[in-house]
Chain A
Amino acid sequence: MTSGQSKGTLALTGLVLIAMFVAIWMVFQYVPNERVMGPVQRIFYFHVPAAMITFLSVFLLMASSITYLWTRNKRWDRISLASTEIGLMFCTLVLITGPIWAKAAWGVWWTWEARLTTTLILWLLLAGCLMVRGYAQNQDLGARLASVLGIIAALDVVIVYKAVHWWRGQHPIVFKSGEKNPLAPEMYTTFMYCIGVFMALFLLMMILRVAVLSLEERTQALAERRTGELS
C-alpha cells in the first residue's frame, strides 16, 4: 500500500466512523416507532443491511473464486478470502440481530423459517471454506480448495433458499416488487442511509483486509528469502 492509498483509506475510515454514528443517531432518534412492533423494529436498520452485505460477500466470493481458478492470480484469492471472512462476520451479525427481533415479535428466539435456515446454512458453508484453508498444508492448496468450496457454497445458497422457502415460510417481506413502498418517509430515508453506510463499511473492511493479506504474503516471502540466504 502506498502512502497515497493509505491516506485514502484513513479518510474512508474516518468517514465511515462518522457515518456510523449518524446512522445510530438516526436509528434511535430520527425514525418514529413502528406502529405494531414498537421500538424493537429499529433493529431492522442494521439487520437488513447486514444481510445484504452477507449476500454481496457471497456473490463476490463466487466471482473471485472463479477468477482465481481461471487466472491463478493471488490477488483474486485475497479478495476471495476477505469476502469469506467479512461475509461470515456479517452473517453472524444477521444471526444475532435476527433472534433479538424474533423474540420480541414472534415470541421465540429461533424458528425454522426459510431465510433464517438459509442464513444458518450459509454460515456453516462459509465456516467450512475457512476451515479447509486452515487445514491445508500450504497456501496454494488452501486457496484452490477454498475457491472450489466458495463456488459450491454460492450456488448452493440459491437452491437452499428455494428448498427452504417451499419447506417453510414466515419471514416478513417488507419490500415486495411492484407494490408501493409501505414505509414512512423517515423510515425509508434511514433505511437507505444505513444500507449506504454498511456498503461503505464493507468496502473499507475489504480494502483493509486485502491490504493486510498482501502485506502478510510479502513478509512471508521476505522471511523465506532471509532463511535462504542464511542457510
Chain B
Amino acid sequence: MTGAGFFRAAGVLAAKDLSIEWRTREGLSAMVLFSLIVLVVFSFAFDLATIKQLGPARLVPGILWTTLAFAGVVGFTRSFQVEARRDSMTALLLAPVDRGALFAGKSLSNLVQLLLLEVVVVPLSAIFFGYDLFAILWPMSVVVFLHTFGLAEMGTLLGAVAAKVGRGEALLSTLLFPVTMPLFISAVKCTNAVLDGKELSSVSNWLLIAVGFDLLFLFVGLLTFEYVVEE
C-alpha cells in the first residue's frame, strides 16, 4: 500500500466518523455534559476556602486532566459502539486498506472530538476556577494538544481491545489509566507551569516525555491494531 493511499484511507475513515458525529452529535454532547458534571463535582469536592487557598495553578491541572480523561473514555467507547451497532467493523475490515490506516483514522476522529471537547471544557475551567486563559492561550494550547494526542491514540487502541471483548467503559478505564499515567503526570506538571506563568522551556523534559509517549505509541498502535481487530 502506498503512503498516499494510507493517508487517504485514514482521512476517509476519520471523515466518516466525524460526519456521523456531526449529524447525531450524540458523542460530543454526552462528553461535554459529562465533563460539565465532573467539573461541578470537583468544585464540591474541594470547598471554597481550599480552592481559594490553593489557587488555580495548583488545583486546575489535576481537575482539568481528570475530567478530560474520564470524558475521553466516554468518547472512545462510543467510537467503537458506532461500528458494533450494524456490525460495520466487519465491513471496515473487509476494505482493502492497511489496518494501520484504520487505527490512524479512528485515532484522528477521536483526537478531533477530544479537541472540540477541550475548546469547551478549558474555557469553562477558567470561568469556574478563575484564571486568565487569554494570557496563556498559546502555551496552554500546545500543552493540551500534545497530551490529548497521546490520550486519543491510546484510547483508540485500548478502546478497540475493550470493544473486542464486549466490555465498555469499565474495562477501558482499567486499561487506559495505568498506561497513560506518564502522560497524565506530564500533563499536570506542564499545565501547572503554564498556569504559574512560566515559560514552556521550564518543562521541556516533561514535554519530551509527552512527545516520546505520543510517537512511541503511535508506532505501536499502527503496528498492533491489526492483531486487535482481526477476526
Contacts and interface: CB of A to CB of B under 8 A. Distances in A.
B101 to A, nearest CB: 18
Contacts of B171: 131-132, 135
A86 to B, nearest CB: 19
Interface in B26-75: none
Nearest to B177: A124
Interface in A23-38: none
A213 interface: no
Interface residues of B, number: 28
B178 interface: yes
Interface stretch (B2-10, B126-134, B135-143, B205-213): B205-213
A167 interface: yes
B174 A160 contact: no
Contact of A131 (B174, B185, B220, B227): B174
Contact of B220 (A127, A137, A145, A155): A155
B84 interface: no
A159 B212 contact: yes
B224 A151 contact: yes
A69 B227 contact: yes
Given A135-B165, A137-B165, A167-B189, A148 B228 contact: yes
A153 B206 CA distance: 20
A148 B179 contact: no
- Interface secondary structure of B, over-half rule: helix
Contact of A156 (B167, B179, B185, B189): B179
A145 B181 contact: no
B178 A163 contact: no
Given A131-B171, A145-B228, A163-B209, A136 B179 contact: no
A28 B26 CA distance: 64
Nearest to B230: A144
A152 interface: yes
Contacts of B213: 159
A166 B186 CA distance: 10
Contact of B164 (A131, A141, A159, A167): A141
B161 A163 contact: no
Contacts of B15: none
Interface in B213-231: 213, 216-217, 220, 224, 227-228, 230
A206 B141 CA distance: 49
Contacts of B175: 128, 132, 149
A164 B185 contact: yes
Contact of B178 (A125, A135, A144, A166): A125
B197 interface: no
B96 interface: no
Nearest to A126: B178
A73 to B, nearest CB: 14
B228 to A, nearest CB: 6
A56 interface: no
Interface string A163-178: 1101100000000000
Contact of B165 (A125, A136, A147): A136
Contacts of A19: none
Nearest to B184: A163
A160 B228 contact: no
B224 A121 contact: no
Contact of A152 (B164, B179, B185): B179
B69 to A, nearest CB: 15
A7 interface: no
A128 B174 contact: yes
Given A128-B174, A156-B179, 14 more contacts: A69-B227, A127-B174, A128-B178, A131-B171, A135-B171, A136-B165, A145-B164, A149-B161, A156-B178, A156-B182, A159-B213, A159-B216, A167-B185, A167-B189
16 contacts: A69-B227, A125-B178, A125-B179, A128-B174, A128-B175, A137-B166, A141-B164, A145-B164, A145-B227, A148-B157, A149-B161, A155-B217, A156-B181, A160-B182, A162-B182, A166-B206
